[in-house]
Amino acid sequence: MRRGIAATAVVAALTMTAAACGGDDGDSGKKSGGKLSGTVTFWDTSNDAEKATYEKLAKGFEDLHPGVEVKYVNVPFGEANAKFKNAAGGNSGAPDVMRTEVAWVADFANLGYLAPLEGTAALDKPEDFLPQAAASTKFKGKTYAAPQTIDTLALFYNKKMLKAAGVEVPKTFDDVKSVAKKIKSKSGKTGLYLRGDDPYFYLPYLYGAGGDLLDTKKKEVTVDDAEGAEAFEVMKDLVDSKAAVTDASDGYNNQLNAFKDGDVAMALDGPWSIEGALQGKQFKGSAGAANLGVAPVPGGSARQASPQGGWNLAAYAGSKNLDASYEFIKYMSSAKVQQQTTEKLSLLPTRTSVYDVKSVKDNQMVQFFKPAVDKSVQRPWIPEANSLFEPIRLQMQKVLSGKTSPEDGAKGIGDAYRKLLKDYK
Partner 1 sequence: MAVESGPRAVPAADARSVRGRGPRAGKKPGRLRRALSTYWYAWAMVAPVVAVIGVIVGYPLVRGVYLSTTDANEANVERTIGVNHIPATYESVGLDNYKAILDDAVFWDRLTWTVVWTVSCVALSFALGLVLAIMLNRKLKGRSFYRMALILPWAVPAFVSVFTWRLLFNEKKGLLNAILEGGGLDAIPWLNDPTWAKLSVIAVNVWLGVPFMLVAMLGGLQSIPGELYEAAEMDGASAWQRFRHVTLPGIRPVATTVVLISAIWTFNMFPVIFLLTRGGPGDATEILVTYAYRLSFVVSPRDFAGSAAWGVLILLLLSLFAVVYRRALRKQGEVW
x-marked contacts with partner 1 along 320-339 as a string, rule CB under 8 A: x-------------------
Using CB under 8 A as the binding rule, whether residue 118 contacts partner 1 is answered as no
Using CB under 8 A as the binding rule, whether residue 386 contacts partner 1 is answered as yes
Using CB under 8 A as the binding rule, whether residue 318 contacts partner 1 is answered as yes
Q: Which stretch binds partner 1 (CB under 8 A): 59-67, 108-116, 130-138, 346-354?
A: 108-116
Task: Please give the Cα distance from 381 to 397 (Å, whole number).
Answer: 25
Of 343, 377, 371, 369, nearest to 357 by C-alpha is 343
Site for partner 1 in 181-220 (CB under 8 A): 196-197
Total residues binding partner 1 (CB under 8 A)? 43
Using CB under 8 A as the binding rule, whether residue 393 contacts partner 1 is answered as yes
Using CB under 8 A as the binding rule, whether residue 224 contacts partner 1 is answered as no
What is the separation, in whole angstroms, between the first and last Cα of the chain? 66
Among 395, 410, 413, 417, binds partner 1 (CB under 8 A): 395
Among 317, 343, 380, 415, binds partner 1 (CB under 8 A): 317
The answer to whether 154 touches 296, Cβ cutoff 8 Å, is: yes
Task: Please give the Cα distance from 229 to 238 (Å, whole number).
Answer: 14
Q: Which stretch binds partner 1 (CB under 8 A): 23-31, 116-124, 147-155, 313-321?
A: 313-321
- Vertex 181 angle, CA 296 and 398, to 5°: 75
> Strands of 264-269's sheet, edge to edge?
244-247, 190-195, 264-269, 154-158, 292-295
The answer to whether 45 touches 101, Cβ cutoff 8 Å, is: yes
Using CB under 8 A as the binding rule, whether residue 383 contacts partner 1 is answered as yes
Among 148, 222, 306, 319, binds partner 1 (CB under 8 A): 319
Give whichever of 55 and 263 is closer to partner 1, judged by the CB atom.
263
Site for partner 1 in 227-266 (CB under 8 A): 245-250, 254, 257-258, 263
DSSP 80-114: HHHHHHHHHHTTSS--SEEEEETTHHHHHHHTT-B
Q: Is the dihedral of CA 176, 178, 184, 186 positive or negative?
A: negative
Binding site for partner 1 (CB under 8 A): 82, 85, 88-89, 91, 107, 110-113, 115, 196-197, 245-250, 254, 257-258, 263, 316-320, 383-384, 386-387, 390, 393-395, 397-398, 400-401, 403-404, 420
